[in-house]
Amino acid sequence: TTPGLIRIRYEDGGGDDEVDAGRCKINLLTESDK
């Protein structure tokens, strides 16, 4: 796993993915604001 990336495992069995940690945190913050 590359530093700065978070591995995400999809609950629907769609495998997993690696996304940028900073982008992840921003998405989580904007989701909680709704």
Name the residue ranges covered by the structural domains of the chain.
1-34
For a pLDDT cut of 90, what percent of the chain falls above it?
Answer: 0
Residue 34 pLDDT exceeds 60: no
Q: Where are the alpha helices (DSSP H) in the chain?
A: 21-33
Q: How confident is the model at residue 25 (pLDDT cuts 50, 70, 90)?
A: low
Distance (Å, rounded) from C-alpha 26 to C-alpha 32?
A: 10
If one counts every other C-beta atom within 10 angstroms of the C-beta of residue 19, the result is 13
Mean pLDDT of the chain: 74
Residue 10: closest CA among 19, 2, 1: 19
Residue 16 pLDDT exceeds 80: yes
Looking at residue 13, what DSSP letter applies? S
Both tokens of 28, joined, read 């989580």
